[in-house]
Amino acid sequence: MATSRRSYSEAEKEQFAQQRKEKVDELHKQLADNVTRLNEGEAWQKWLSMAAKFHRYSFNNVLLIAVQRPDATLVAGYRAWQSMGHQVRKGETSIKVLGPVTRRMPVLDSSTGQPVRDSSGEVLYRRQMIGVKPVAVFDASQVDPPVPTPPQPQLLTGQAPEGLWDALAGIVVAEGYRVTRGDCHGANGFTDYAGLEVRVRDDVDDAQAVKTLAHEVGHVLLPPSPGESMLSGTCRGLAEVEAESVAYMVTQAHGLDSAQYTFSYVAGWAQQASTAEISVADVVAQTGARVIGAVDTILSRTLSQSDAEVVLVDELAATIGVGSAELDTATVPATVWEVVTSDQRLGATADRHQPAGPPAARTAPSL
């Protein structure tokens, strides 16, 4: 006999939407708190102490470094490394960047053009850049003893939440991109804005693959503003903080815990985007509005009303002091919110990835 599907009132739909928003806000606070605690840990403090001593290079110099040594992390001159207790190894090839050529010039009065003098009549001078010259610098991988490194994110292992890959892939396709699996040149995934492609590496477990896809969905929904360059340290840092925050909150809402990966990843990129005036915690907080908006959009299309109802039932059960199993909702058919689209490829990309079942216990290997 056919079973009728439950319909939801407008009030119930509003309740589900409000509940989802509150859950998203809670997840972002959880993320910010944990990243802050991690950032205050001993290993991170050693890393931050080291990183704070390094010069921040201009956009042009970042390009030069990337072309000559794409895997560069921390870069400094020969003497600078020595001053920090490290020695460049014999035979290492330097990275060439542009350094300023300066000259001592008198400070001139803007109205008269005459030199400005101090109270004792002496002419005031300042250093003025008059050109550039090639300067040799070296990466942290070229020095001894080894430079401290921050805690590294650990790849997730195990299964992914059922249906989450297809739901996320559907969002990507609806935004005009295609989803592929394959070599990502050392990364877990990437978003090609020009080629309209999202790629996820194909040699990781389902849990990591779906987490990476959620990260790339964050990039798709939160693209850089016109004129911003992803090669700029601050812009790239903010973009990665946003995308990984999205990944954590989406996967967490679907029952996949990616904390072991996300907290280290976000803290690392937030540190790169931070300044003397803006702390790591500030960076995470400042990205909150865009992240929360993107996550709410994603969850509205990946969580069904019945999923939201389960959460409400659990909360009600806790409130009245009974187990959620005692509140049997199995006899109530669920109505699923579906995304209405004219694109028939939604959720059915050519390289469709089939999750292996519900989440299992997950452990992470050392990288």
How much is the pLDDT for 34? Answer: 67
Of the candidates 284, 280, 281, 282, which has an alpha carbon nearest to the alpha carbon of residue 271? 280
Question: pLDDT grade, residue 352 (50/70/90)?
Answer: very low
Measuring CA to CA, how many Å separate 66 from each of 70, 199, 265, 366?
4, 22, 21, 27
Neighbours of 307 (CB within 10 A): 18
Tell me the C-alpha distance between 252 and 58, whole Å. Answer: 37
Measuring CA to CA, how many Å separate 320 from each of 315, 324, 329?
9, 10, 16
**157-192: pLDDT as tens digits:** 999 999 999 999 999 999 999 999 999 988 899 999
How much is the pLDDT for 227? Answer: 66
Q: Is residue 359 exposed (0-12), middle (13-18) or buried (19+ Cβ within 10 Å)?
A: buried
DSSP designation for 303: S
Category of 176 on φ-ψ map: left (φ > 0), alpha (ψ -120 to 50) or beta = left
Of the candidates 235, 297, 244, which has an alpha carbon nearest to the alpha carbon of residue 59? 235
Measuring CA to CA, how many Å separate 37 from each of 30, 58, 84, 164, 224?
11, 31, 27, 30, 28
Question: pLDDT grade, residue 45 (50/70/90)?
Answer: low
DSSP 52-80: TTSPPPPHHHHHHHHHH-TT--SEEEHHH
Residue 331 has pLDDT above 60, yes or no: no
Q: How far is CA 202 from the centre of its chain?
A: 20
Q: Where is 301: in which H helix or E strand?
A: helix 288-302
